[in-house]
Amino acid sequence: MKKKCIVTGGSSGIGLSIVKLFLANHYRVINLDIVDSGVGEFHYCDVTDHAQLQTIVKDIAAPIDVLVSNAGIHFSATIENTSEADLLKVFNINVKGAYSAIQAVLPSMKAQHSGAIILIASDQALIAKRNSFAYNLSKNALASMAKTTALDYAEFNIRANAICPGTIETPLYHQAIDNYCQRSGADKASVHQEEAALQPLNRIGQPDEVAELALFLASDKATFITGSLQVIDGGYTAQ
């Protein structure tokens, strides 16, 4: 029987790369998203709707071997420029969505006495960046969620870890660069080169590289890894 993996936000960027790689490694992959990429089994799901997510996961049925909680949004603003509505939107998707997904899969994982939970956090779970109040806060919350879940469910042989990507070339990355260029009049190619130069490895990371780390953390090769923050940032946070 194929192992079963649920991915939230698996229709683009890092999430899509994770779906494709797990499929290639003979997992049954269920993508919970609001847009169908046509890859893997798709279930429409708004992760901010706790009851909807719980119902979908229950319908998928046990056993659930892996959860990759990837759904999230980026938001750039200082604390002064972050409205209450902005803050709630970021937290509803980035934090509440992860909370709901983890809570939904735990009964299955507890019953089978095994499971791997992987949260896609950010290098901003370790460091601060300018103009990133709400996003940074949400990613720190995911790091905490991975640690507390790891401790609370270790007795059930359930592992929880957070992946902390740095600058990765995803549609969200290009959207952020485009928005900056529209505001500033900067040249996109130049901005992209400047971003690459900020990384010690002198390049932007790729979604497939993050997917490989997720696959490793889900595998039997990582059975003694739990409660960790796995940084994949080209050395950025080591500076």
What is the chain's pLDDT, residue by residue, as a tens digit (239 residues)?
899 999 999 999 999 999 999 999 999 999 999 999 999 999 999 999 999 999 999 999 889 999 999 999 999 999 999 999 999 999 999 999 999 999 999 999 999 999 999 999 999 999 999 999 999 999 999 999 999 999 999 999 999 999 999 999 999 899 889 988 998 999 999 999 999 999 999 999 999 999 999 999 999 999 999 999 999 999 999 99
Task: Look at residue 55 in the predicted model and tell me its pLDDT.
Answer: 97
Residue 74 contacts residue 129 (beta carbons within 8 Å): no
Q: Do residues 200 and 133 make contact, with C-beta atoms less than 8 angstroms apart?
A: no
Q: In what order do the strands lie in the sheet with 229-232?
A: 41-44, 28-33, 4-8, 66-69, 115-120, 158-165, 229-232
Supply the pTM of this predicted model.
0.96
Catalytic residue, candidates 27, 99, 135, 153: 135
Per-residue pLDDT of 60-74, as tens digits, reads: 988 999 999 999 999
CB-CB neighbours of 1 under 10 Å = 6
- Specify the CATH superfamily of domain 4-166+206-232: NAD(P)-binding Rossmann-like Domain (3.40.50.720)
pLDDT at 1: 84
99 carries an active-site annotation: no
Decide: 221 and 153 in contact? Cβ < 8 Å.
Answer: no
What is the rounded CA–CA span in Å between residue 165 and residue 234? 9
Q: Where are the domains of the chain?
A: 4-166+206-232, 169-204
Q: What is the pLDDT of residues 110-146, one digit of tens each?
A: 999 999 999 999 999 999 999 999 999 999 999 999 9
Residue-level pLDDT at 121: 98
For the chain, the straight-line distance linking the first and the last C-alpha, in angstroms and rounded, comes to 45
